[in-house]
């Protein structure tokens, strides 16, 4: 089976550049979830615009890399102000959201792989 890379966004061009900030949430070589070996989980922030009154508009994506492919999906977006990525990471980690993020990514990745076969 080939390894595939998926950008699961309505407009993939939004992430067609280097992220403005990245937070690695998990990095391992031996964590398995539903036959997927999870290598890395990140949140990535892309600063899309700055409004004088509303501040920074950021797109925050989740990125999960496995032995069968990787997937990047929207996690959050909007005028979230300064340190939006750090606050999002703190919320995700403190509310046990990491397992849900991994599971959601694997389900989507599995569906895309099955469609290609």
pLDDT tens sequence for the chain (117 residues): 467 788 888 888 889 999 999 999 989 877 888 889 999 999 999 999 988 899 899 999 999 999 999 999 999 999 988 889 999 999 888 887 888 899 999 999 999 888 876
Torsion on CA atoms 21, 25, 30, 31, rounded to nearest 10: -130
Look up residue 115 and give its two tokens.
């469609």
CA angle 42, 43, 49 (to 5 degrees): 145
CA distances from 117 to 101, 106, 112 (A): 25, 17, 9
């Amino acid at each position: 089976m080939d390894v595939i890379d998926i950008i699961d966004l309505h407009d993939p061009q939004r992430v067609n550049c280097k992220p403005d900030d990245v937070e690695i949430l998990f990095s391992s070589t031996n964590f398995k979830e539903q036959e997927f070996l999870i290598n890395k989980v990140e949140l990535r922030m892309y600063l899309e615009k700055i409004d004088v009154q509303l501040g920074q508009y950021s797109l925050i994506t989740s990125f999960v890399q496995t032995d069968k492919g990787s997937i990047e999906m929207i996690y959050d977006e909007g005028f979230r102000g300064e340190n939006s990525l750090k606050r999002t990471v703190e919320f995700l980690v403190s509310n046990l959201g990491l397992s849900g993020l991994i599971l959601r990514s694997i389900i989507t990745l599995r569906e895309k792989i099955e469609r290609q076969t």
